[in-house]
Amino acid sequence: MACEIIGMTQMAKISVRKCLMTIAATGLVAGTLAPLAAYAQARDPAYAAARAAGQVGEKMDGYLGYVTPPAPALRAVVEDINIKRKAVYATKAQANKATVEEYALTSGCLLISQTRPGEKYQAPDGSWQTRGDGPPLRDSRCP
């Protein structure tokens, strides 16, 4: 994916940072975060079961969140995954001249878009939603 230089009237609508974040997020999901998420699910059956049961879900900020109060073991697993995600975000953000928060938000948008029907995700208003057959609700800041 590449961003092209476009006319000034359209350039006012598309920020350079959003262009960079779109490129960064594409690389993140394709090359870094997707394997990390798959690894986390395969590594820990408790996480996979909690996700399938709707106890945890993807948040807008790029991290996993608790839909229901977690057991201590699940909390430890989710915190470990979130720590690893933050490390990936920090590395990728620095490489793409973005903040960790910007990179995490873009990643959250993409991770939410990759949820499967029945999985939980955080909607732009902060509420927990269950993914249906259609696309999830997306934040207006998503690329």
For the entire predicted model, the pTM comes to 0.74
Tell me, what's the pLDDT at 95? 94
Minimum mean pLDDT range among 15-24, 75-84, 117-126: 15-24
Average pLDDT over residues 112-116: 95
Going by C-alpha positions, the residue among 46, 61, 45 that lies closest to residue 105 is 61
Angle (deg, nearest 10), helices 72-95 and 34-43: 160
C-alpha span between 142 and 140 (Å, rounded): 5
Please give the distance of CA 32 from its chain centroid, rounded to a whole number.
12
Could you tell me the pLDDT band of residue 6, with boundaries at 50, 70 and 90? very low
The structure tokens listed for 100 are 């960790």
C-alpha span between 85 and 105 (Å, rounded): 12
Tell me, what's the pLDDT at 3? 38
Q: pLDDT tens digit string along 10-63?
A: 433 344 445 445 555 455 444 555 555 554 555 688 899 999 999 999 999 999
Please give the share of the chain, as a percent, with pLDDT higher than 70.
70
For residue 124, pLDDT over 80 is answered with: yes
Which value, in Å, is the radius of gyration of the alpha carbons in the chain? 16
For residue 64, pLDDT over 60 is answered with: yes
Going by C-alpha positions, the residue among 19, 18, 16, 13 that lies closest to residue 1 is 19
Q: Which residues sit opposite 28 in a β-bridge?
A: none
Fill in the amino acid letter for 63: Y
Q: Which residues sit opposite 130 in a β-bridge?
A: 120
